Amino acid sequence: MLTKNMQDILDEPFQITPDQISLFRKNAFIKIKNVLSPEVVHYMNETISAEVKRLNTQHLPMEQRDTYGKAFLQIFNLWTKSEAVKEIVFGKRLAKIASDLLGVDGVRMYHDQALFKEPSGGHTPWHADQYYWPLSSDKTVTVWIPLQKTGLELGPLEFSAGSHQLTEGRNLKISDESEKELQKKLTLRDFQQVVQPFDIGEVSFHSGWIFHRAGPNKTDAMRRVMTVIYMDKDMRLKEPINDNQIADWETWCPGVKIGDVIDSPLNPILYSK
């Protein structure tokens, strides 16, 4: 379990600047250094890695998987399966940053997910997360937390800066098609592709409609990442427009009616002013 000092760090406000907020709203992503201490990252790594090992059901050899399956091991809503992970995910420090970047009075949980890219794991194709989400606005943001120093060879997250302005391609799920089609569209529109290593304690935040990808893991070590998806605490459920949004409604927003605030037991408020 978290020590009091670690819990304090996870709850203590982290002050972001007006320039950082402006940069996020211009580009729809931002990387921020020293958000978490090395000690907290170490604890998160040990705790979350143990849960991923316990809960993982993907045992096919890499060569027998499709592109999505090669991209990462994906474990959802660890906070509902582990009290120790819940203490981490419910930390107010990251949730307040998310609220400040979005310019809202507070944020709820949409869901969390661990994304572990195995040794020799493949690339993660270009995509926009909000293709999957039946949400009424773009007031969403995902924090991407590397659990180790992440060089380019491990396959860190890559962003197409400002590509949230592009509406073409929003109908593409993660696939070989999305990688091919979006690379073409993003290149034609001349959006800047940003890929950089992550230091220990450095995290990124990206909006639901920015296009992003990750390269393959070219090492013999696991690339370990934890994410939390935050949404405006007043977010409402919209009519789903594809099968994936129907599945997300049933899985992450159980019992919520179209047009209502998404306040199911799986969507607690994580920060409120």
pLDDT at 77: 98
pLDDT at 22: 98
The separation between CA 179 and the C-alpha centre of its own chain, rounded to angstroms, equals 18
Q: pLDDT digit string (tens) for 73-105?
A: 999 999 999 999 999 999 999 999 999 999 999
pLDDT at 149: 98
Burial class (CB in 10 A: 0-12, 13-18, 19+), 86: middle
pLDDT at 6: 78
Q: pLDDT digit string (tens) for 175-204?
A: 999 999 999 999 999 999 999 999 999 999
Kindly state the tokens that stand for 198.
């992550």
Q: What string of pLDDT tens digits covers the 273 residues of the chain?
A: 667 677 888 999 999 999 999 999 999 999 999 999 999 999 999 999 999 999 999 989 999 999 999 999 999 999 999 999 999 999 999 999 999 999 999 999 999 999 999 999 999 999 999 999 999 999 999 999 999 999 999 999 999 999 999 999 999 999 999 999 999 999 999 999 999 999 999 999 999 999 999 999 999 999 999 999 999 999 999 999 999 999 999 999 999 999 999 999 999 999 999
142 closest CA partner among 161, 157, 155: 157
Q: What is the dihedral of CA 67, 154, 206, 31, to 10 degrees?
A: -170
pLDDT at 76: 98
Q: Which domains does the chain have, with CATH numbers?
A: 4-252 (2.60.120.620)
